[in-house]
Every structure is written in C-alpha cells, then in structure tokens.
C-alpha cells in the first residue's frame, strides 16, 4: 500500500498520496505491466517488458517507478529479480479501475474474450461469470453475510467440511465483496476467496492458463459447482 512520504501534520498528505498513485499509474506501458501482474505470479523485467512491448532498459525504469510508488515489490532470488503486485489491495484497486475504464471504451463488451469473461483470476481469487454466480450462491445459501464482509458460522463450517483452509492469522480481510469489472457485480475476495480458488485448483476443478488470467473449468469442476452450489459453469 502506498505510504505518504509527507509528515503526519501535512494537511494535504492524503491528497498528495492519491496523486502519487495516479502519477505512478499514468503511463500505458506501466498499466500493461500491472495488468499482467494481476495473474498473481511474479514476473521478470524481461517478461514484463515483452508484455508492454518496450525495451528492457525502458522496462527497468518503469518498474523502478512502480516500486517507488509502492504498487509492486521486487523479489531478489540469486542473480534474478522478480516483480509482483504489492498486495491484494493493489490488485483490488486495479480491478476497480478496469471496471471504471471498461465503461468508457465504445463497444468494449463485444470485443471481450468470452472465455476470459467466463472465468479468470483476479490476483489470487476467482473472477468472471462463474465467480459472480458462485458469490450469489454463497449469499443465498447462507454461507456469506449479506454484504459479503464475512463468512457466517454456517459458512465457516461448510468451508471446514470441504477442506478449504482459511488463515486466521492473515492480516488481510478474511472475506470481502470484490466488484467484478466485466460483470458489474460482486465476486468473493479476501482470504476466503483466495482459499476457495486454491481448493478448486487442488481438486482439479479448474485449470489456469500459464501467463494469462484465463481459467478453464474442468468437467469435474462443473459437476462439483453444480452439486455443491447449484452453479452452472
């Protein structure tokens, strides 16, 4: 999360911090990099440069700007450096901005890849039509509070019964409603959303496409989602 560099007593600290975030994102190449990092993986500068279609030296300068803005972090492993989003809050910000921007591009819905709209990752949780239907089913089934801010006692018990591991010590929100940019409705975010995605992946109910956000629901996954949540995938 962006941390204002101004003193606490600065009356304009919040406004300046918001402007700094906007400035860090105000470049098409940097936006392409941030969108690529929405798949939740760590990428190298070379890979991100290729995504943005820019030279490696230019990519490094852009990445340094994003690191300085606290939007991404750099992980050193031996001689290699990898970059990833600074946290789920940054992913949620980017997802929200996608939704706002999407509405300002004429005819965008007709060009949206159907498979991407059907199911994809939103950083570390599931998004798209399937995720929105699943969120609605969790609300209707009494697994989630009406505002999506927490699992109900019943929901916690169901998660435990399915073997979905939650992290009670996590500093992130245990559960939250994340606005889906293609569907304009909510899907499940937070620790519960991440745990559910991992569970589905481990069960073989879905398969990720390496390097992309697209997710394919398998035959066993369609059956499980129908049987457990009455969701057609």
Q: pLDDT band at residue 126, thresholds of 50, 70 and 90?
A: very high
pLDDT tens per residue across span 172-186: 788 988 888 778 788
How does strand 125-127 pair with strand 176-179?
unpaired
What's the whole-model pTM score? 0.65
| 3-state secondary structure (DSSP) of residue 81 | strand
Q: Which helix (H) or strand (E) holds 85?
A: strand 80-85
Residue bearing the bigger pLDDT, 116 or 230: 230
Question: For position 131, what pLDDT does the model report?
Answer: 95
118 pLDDT higher than 80: yes
Q: State how beta strands 125-127 and 120-122 pair.
A: antiparallel
Residue-level pLDDT at 102:
66
Q: Any bridge partners for residue 189, and if so which? A: 176
Q: Is the pLDDT of residue 115 over 70?
A: yes
Burial classification of residue 138, based on how many CB atoms lie within 10 Å of its CB (0-12 exposed, 13-18 middle, 19 or more buried) = buried
Q: What is the Cα 209 distance to its own chain's centre?
A: 15
Token pair for residue 24?
């860090």
- Residue among 227, 221, 155 nearest 193 (CA): 155
Half-sphere exposure of 226 (CA within 13 A, CB side): 9
Q: How many residues does the chain have?
A: 233
Helix axes 28-36, 45-52, angle to 10 degrees: 120
Cβ atoms within 10 Å, residue 119: 22
Please state, in angstroms and rounded to a whole number, the distance separating the CA atoms of residues 117 and 176. 21
Q: Which of 12-16, 162-166, 170-174 is least confident?
A: 170-174
Closest CA relative to residue 187, chosen from 197, 195, 177, 196 = 177
Is the CATH number of domain 13-86 3.40.1480.10?
A: no
**What crossing angle do the helices spanning 56-68 and 13-25 adopt, rounded to 10°?**
160
pLDDT value at 149 more than 70: yes
Query: What are the residue boundaries of the structural domains of the chain, listed by start?
Result: 13-86, 89-229
Give me 71's structure tokens.
Answer: 């939007």
Cα-based distances in Å from 116 to 9, 12, 205, 214: 46, 40, 17, 5
Q: What percent of the chain has pLDDT over 90?
A: 52
CA distances in angstroms from 26 to 10, 22, 30, 107, 227, listed in the order given? 24, 6, 8, 23, 45
206 has pLDDT over 60: yes
């Amino acid at each position: 999360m962006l941390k204002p560099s101004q003193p606490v007593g600065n009356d304009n600290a919040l406004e300046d911090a918001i402007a700094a975030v906007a400035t860090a994102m105000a470049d098409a190449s940097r936006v392409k990099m941030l969108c690529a990092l929405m798949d939740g993986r760590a990428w190298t500068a070379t890979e991100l440069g290729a995504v943005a279609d820019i030279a490696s030296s230019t990519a490094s300068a852009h990445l340094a700007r994003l690191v300085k803005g606290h939007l991404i972090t750099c992980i050193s492993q031996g001689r290699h450096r990898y970059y990833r989003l600074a946290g789920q809050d940054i992913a949620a910000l980017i997802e929200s901005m996608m939704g706002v921007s999407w509405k300002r591009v004429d005819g965008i819905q007709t060009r949206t890849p159907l498979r991407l709209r059907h199911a994809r990752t939103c950083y570390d949780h599931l998004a798209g039509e399937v995720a929105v239907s699943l969120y609605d089913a969790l609300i209707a089934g009494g697994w989630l509070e009406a505002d999506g801010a927490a699992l109900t006692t019943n929901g916690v018990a169901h998660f435990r019964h399915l073997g979905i591991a939650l992290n009670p010590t996590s500093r992130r929100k245990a559960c939250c409603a994340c606005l889906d940019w293609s569907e304009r409705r909510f899907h499940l975010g937070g620790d519960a959303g991440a745990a559910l995605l991992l569970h589905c992946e481990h069960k073989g109910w879905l398969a990720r496409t390496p390097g992309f956000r697209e997710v394919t629901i398998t035959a066993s996954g369609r059956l499980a989602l129908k049987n457990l949540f009455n969701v057609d995938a």
